[in-house]
Amino acid sequence: MTNKVSAPGQTPTPITWTIAARQTPPAVTGSHVGVLALQGDFLEHAIVLRQLGVSAPEVRKAEALEALDGLIIPGGESTTMAILMDTWGLRDAICRRVRQGMAVWGSCAGMILIASSLREDRPKPLGLMNIRVARNAFGRQVDSFEADLQVAALGERPFHAVFIRAPLILEVGEGVEVLARLEDGTPVAARQGKLLATAFHPELTDDFRFHRYFVDIAKGAR
């Protein structure tokens, strides 16, 4: 079922993250998953990870990538994030760490950034995952929507997905498994080895299954 976000033009009410943000992170459970913290909703991802017992360092410098098994590139504005990544030398560093086995999850703007090609001229993506992506594919901010998705990899219970000026996957190449589609068949989540892409924002709901799934990928457990 698909329905509109209740307050047009505004992001949906996130989980009670203002309270959660002030909690002391629990002990690290042995998986090192960080969040790229240049722009966008990195804090919401970090809070979910910390609730799962992952320390979730905020990554702003290339050196911080060395210790990571996984990196989340969050939603936000992909052009801005690409400029900041280039300014801080993170583009090459992320690509190098992926070649060494680091997992990456690109969510929304993050999915745009990890794609191999885009419908649009900007930004220049990292070219990590064998997908072609279209930005702002469902219209403007007011056309944001929510949908319940069947995601077999996460179990039977549908995943309530929040799409905010979201991209979509136009084409998937070799090695890419589509994890979820809209009712019309449009792919909106995919995986290629240790790379995960979602067009929507799991960090804005209280369903942590995608975060758990990614932590397992980073650990090499899936």
Point out which residues bind ligand GLN (CB under 6 A): 75-78, 108-109, 112, 135-136, 164-165
Specify the residue, 50 or 165, whose C-beta has the smaller distance to ligand GLN. 165
Question: Least Å distance between CB 74 and ligand GLN?
Answer: 8
In the complex, least distance from residue 135 CB atom to ligand GLN, rounded to whole angstroms = 4
Is-catalytic flag, 203?
Answer: yes
Q: Annotate 6-15 with b (16+ C-beta within 10 A) or e (fewer).
A: eeeeebeebb
Q: Nearest approach, Cβ of 96 to ligand GLN (angstroms)?
A: 24
**For ligand GLN, which is the closer residue by CB, 31 or 114?**
114
How many other CB atoms sit within 10 Å of the CB of residue 53? 15
- Given the residues 108, 120, 156, 183, the one annotated as active site: 108
Cis amide linkage into residue 123, ω under 30° from 0: yes
To the nearest whole angstrom, how small is the minimum distance from the Cβ of residue 81 to ligand GLN?
Answer: 7
Verify whether residue 177 is a known catalytic residue. no
Q: What is the DSSP string of 130-194?
A: EEEEETTTT-SGGG-EEEEE--GGG-SSPEEEEESS--EEEEE-TT-EEEEE-TT--EEEEEETT
Helix, strand, coil percentages in the chain from 3-state DSSP, rounded to 5: 30, 25, 45
Q: Among residues 44, 45, 146, 201, which one is catalytic?
A: 201
Nearer of residues 40 and 70 to ligand GLN, judged by Cβ: 40
Tokens of 142: 């007011």
* Minimum CB distance to ligand GLN smaller for 32 or for 165: 165
Active site residues: 108, 201, 203
